[in-house]
Structure 1
């Protein structure tokens, strides 16, 4: 269905090709998963299939990419729209109408399909994706999982034979991610759709892949069976890391397969326990008291009581729409309480001047680009120094500490996701706020970038900062957080040490906890330390 013949792509400002000598075929009716470190060319490869590369994103394409017999060099994206459907990371950025039904029909209208055909396909797609009850709903009022299903549906009504997805579950809670992956399974198994998907959260998707394509900078692309590729891939989920540690062959790709092999390992670990994490104490840096916030017609928070202490890393979890971002926004003064109170450093955030508030609390938003508006890294750093009243060069010194080697003249949009996040973190930290808030900090990060973020946040906590991070990444919470809160319908329904909270919740438990239950283990690092590996 998709054929790459000696494909290379080089951008004008790049010394080396982003892709080099890709020569492979993806058969019809398979789910092919793209894996590899950030910067390995996954998004570029997806773009060559949809025709976005080189027609819209630039670069020089060498070799030949054919999809269903059409050469993407000779067919622009609009000429491939009936064959290839593309879904990006952010569904809202893809929508062009206001309601679910209108969005499903838009692509067919653009192709000039007859009205009776459009009506039939909309109904079929509503049933296929479980969206019939939402047909009249406003797109902005849907949950993240519902929006992602609508985004997939909007390209499915055109009946593409190939579906290209870039990080489809990165912004979704575990339940919503399962919804989307179930839809993809139905498309592959029941309709014979070919799915090409790039995803960093391999713990969610690798067990569903028919084949895996590994892109690694400086190495030839590798296409093979998932277990074979994962055996030597530099990026892999915790269940694969646990299998490598234990020497299991073949490597398990799912929790179920790992549990079947894990009895000897559970017996070896019996009677042992990971070292207990210290519990930070001290007077709270920030607190809420029966905090309630209404946003339009939605009661976003209901009676939230929370205290954040120096040196403590707290994970805030819950399904999409539970109120996590609203709680973070309330702590930085973006939302005034409907009732109750919120204090940060003895101040009421929404009544405090921003120039003063940034010295007490800083927020790194879901998309770091919302915080970055300069033309260069040097300009961002200079603006951060001015805003924080810090000595010139303070922000640049932080960037060099957190992200060494980035040139002053680099434009923030030319940085990778992990680099942009780190730059935004340095901008916020320039004012040295005792409280640091992060909203979905691992969205778009590979495992190596996530490991660097873990080290940065641990060092900040050791220096006395309180850290609150809203995340759907259960593996990050298990590895990093002293304490975990679970928010549902604007209320805190669980609050306690991470090991207790996540293990008791099947939806938020990490892979290692599920494999080694009922043991107290959360991460591969804990198991390796206990075994002396």
Structure 2
């Protein structure tokens, strides 16, 4: 195979940091490689990608000792505005890469900068949208897209530029199982038929192993091992424990209820339709479904971020309206799909303690609760750090800590394990499960069907904006065929 890139990083240090973010890294990239880079939270995965895209050192200030070459060119000599000739790059958060009001304009933006004829642009946009599973999405408003749809639009814009190396940071973090399968399948096809070189960072890589030829495992900024896919599977992918879920059939208090609820967005896009749902104290409910099926809309209706176009939402036996919304929200914690939507403070301890200060808690109590919450999520050592210095996974943990510190009765989590490695994901779910066993009520929106099965006592499946199934997890086997018809394969 022809070597098209060489990476040698003796050390990489950011300003005001003593510890290298990367060190002792050396590997080659061959044309047609499909390399998966994985490792724990804050292991240096995204930072390594930044060195391959030229963002380091051209944009992010850092002292890089070593040399990186792409197609024979030293990356230090390639202007940042010419990097698209060498690599296509997709960031972790798709919202940071969406720049236009509608899908067509967003995918066409890079092509327009290259002064490609309009007719050719139209053909390329159509082709790449079909490739990522968004046929006929050209006129959709980007603001109306679900997280998974936004991720695919960004990917289409990157693929449209036809760079020889494709670099992807967590490309399926917000996709449903069917979306992940289809995307990996398409990437695998491009890799095999067009010899497109792919470098992909993922925390959980079991599903992509069939398409990869190499796996690089990072720990503390260093590649500690290089695997073949077969070696990685044998060494790293362990067994997923079952949790003993309560079989208590006694009547429980209803803490949330949706009756004939529908919601339509301003652009006439249907969010959900005729939802009927009762949530009982102590439930651990997983809401599952394909991207765009209405899962996030359902969650936002429950917390009052959206007002139903029709029907009624009750929380704690009270209608959810402006009069009692503030009081109800003191009993409910909401974790957004993107942690940056709810992080705003200058330090971690300030972020976690913000809600407690608003409630007038004493400083000694606040300090104790901040310490307990940050210790639980493994971020206590970073309490004086600015949140934006954290990785995406760490920011997700911080957002969870800022919710749990207030001890809410009902926790709604929209993709709480997004951006986390498997161990961190299980840690979060273990904590939520423990809370449910103590009488707290948990509703999780998730694309991780294995975790849904492991932790939940109920599964609520949405399809075509409606609740199609609301079943006990212990009855899952009876409904596998129906779930598969909705694109949800538990096997």
TM-score after normalising by structure 2 = 0.88
Change (3 A) 1:406 1:35: same
Q: 1:349 maps to which residue?
A: 320
Q: Assess if the C-alpha contact under 8 Å between 2:42 and 2:394 holds in 1.
A: no
Distance between the aligned counterparts of 2:417 and 2:429, measured in 1?
10
* Structure with the higher fraction of residues in strand conformation: 2
**Could you tell me which of 403, 408, 411 is aligned with 1:436?**
411
Q: 2:346 maps to which residue?
A: 375
Q: 1:84 maps to which residue?
A: 87
Q: Assess if the C-alpha contact under 8 Å between 2:54 and 2:80 holds in 1.
A: yes
Deviates more, 1:60-69 or 1:115-124: 115-124
Distance between the aligned counterparts of 1:294 and 1:115, measured in 2?
34
Q: Assess if the C-alpha contact under 8 Å between 2:148 and 2:175 holds in 1.
A: yes
The runs of 5 or more residues in structure 1 that have no matched partner are: 246-272, 515-533
Matched, 1:107 2:110: yes
Distance between the aligned counterparts of 1:120 and 1:364, measured in 2?
40
**Could you tell me which of 35, 56, 60 is aligned with 2:59?**
56
The runs of 5 or more residues in structure 2 that have no matched partner are: none
Distance between the aligned counterparts of 2:83 and 2:63, measured in 1?
19
Distance between the aligned counterparts of 1:451 and 1:399, measured in 2?
22
Matched, 1:162 2:137: no
**Cα RMSD after superposing both structures:** 2.7
| SS of equivalent to 2:334 | strand
Change (3 A) 1:382 1:460: same
Q: 1:293 maps to which residue?
A: 263
Q: 1:410 maps to which residue?
A: 385
Q: 1:452 maps to which residue?
A: 427
**Could you tell me which of 258, 263, 283 is aligned with 2:253?**
283
Q: 1:361 maps to which residue?
A: 332
TM superposition shift of 1:146: 4.6
Q: 2:6 maps to which residue?
A: 3
**Could you tell me which of 182, 201, 206 is aligned with 2:204?**
201
Distance between the aligned counterparts of 1:324 and 1:396, measured in 2?
36
Q: Assess if the C-alpha contact under 8 Å between 1:382 and 1:392 holds in 2.
A: no
| SS of equivalent to 2:136 | helix
Distance between the aligned counterparts of 2:80 and 2:248, measured in 1?
55
Distance between the aligned counterparts of 1:136 and 1:100, measured in 2?
6
TM superposition shift of 1:448: 1.7
Paired positions, count? 477
Q: Pairwise mapping of residues 252-271 of structure 1 onto structure 2 (< 5 A)?
A: none
Change (3 A) 1:394 1:380: farther
Q: Assess if the C-alpha contact under 8 Å between 2:373 and 2:404 holds in 1.
A: no
Change (3 A) 1:431 1:275: closer
Change (3 A) 1:389 1:398: same
| SS of equivalent to 1:17 | coil
Q: Assess if the C-alpha contact under 8 Å between 2:336 and 2:414 holds in 1.
A: yes
Q: Pairwise mapping of residues 242-253 of structure 1 onto structure 2 (< 5 A)?
A: none
TM superposition shift of 1:130: 5.8
TM superposition shift of 1:209: 0.8
Q: 1:388 maps to which residue?
A: 359
Q: 2:280 maps to which residue?
A: 309
Q: Assess if the C-alpha contact under 8 Å between 1:279 and 1:482 holds in 2.
A: no
What whole-Å deviation, never above 9, does each CA across 1:304-349 have from its counterpart, x for those lacking one?
2222222221111111111111211111112222222111122222
TM superposition shift of 1:418: 4.0
Q: Assess if the C-alpha contact under 8 Å between 1:315 and 1:477 holds in 2.
A: yes
**Could you tell me which of 210, 213, 219 is aligned with 1:210?**
213
| SS of equivalent to 2:261 | strand
Deviates more, 1:482-491 or 1:303-312: 303-312
Change (3 A) 1:468 1:124: closer
What whole-Å deviation, never above 9, does each CA across 1:231-251 have from its counterpart, x for those lacking one?
334xx3x5xx48xx9xxxxxx
TM-score after normalising by structure 1 = 0.82
Q: Assess if the C-alpha contact under 8 Å between 1:88 and 1:94 holds in 2.
A: yes
Distance between the aligned counterparts of 1:75 and 1:14, measured in 2?
26
Change (3 A) 1:438 1:129: closer
| SS of equivalent to 1:319 | coil
Matched, 1:183 2:154: no
Change (3 A) 1:306 1:131: closer
What whole-Å deviation, never above 9, does each CA across 1:406-439 have from its counterpart, x for those lacking one?
3442222223444433332333234432111111
Q: 1:335 maps to which residue?
A: 306
Q: Assess if the C-alpha contact under 8 Å between 1:121 and 1:157 holds in 2.
A: yes
TM superposition shift of 1:487: 1.1
Q: 1:422 maps to which residue?
A: 397
TM superposition shift of 1:43: 0.4
| SS of equivalent to 2:318 | coil
Distance between the aligned counterparts of 2:405 and 2:70, measured in 1?
49
Q: Assess if the C-alpha contact under 8 Å between 1:377 and 1:410 holds in 2.
A: yes
Distance between the aligned counterparts of 1:459 and 1:286, measured in 2?
20
What whole-Å deviation, never above 9, does each CA across 1:185-217 have from its counterpart, x for those lacking one?
222112111000001232321221111111122
Distance between the aligned counterparts of 1:369 and 1:391, measured in 2?
28
What whole-Å deviation, never above 9, does each CA across 1:448-497 have from its counterpart, x for those lacking one?
21122022112211321101111111122122111110112221111112
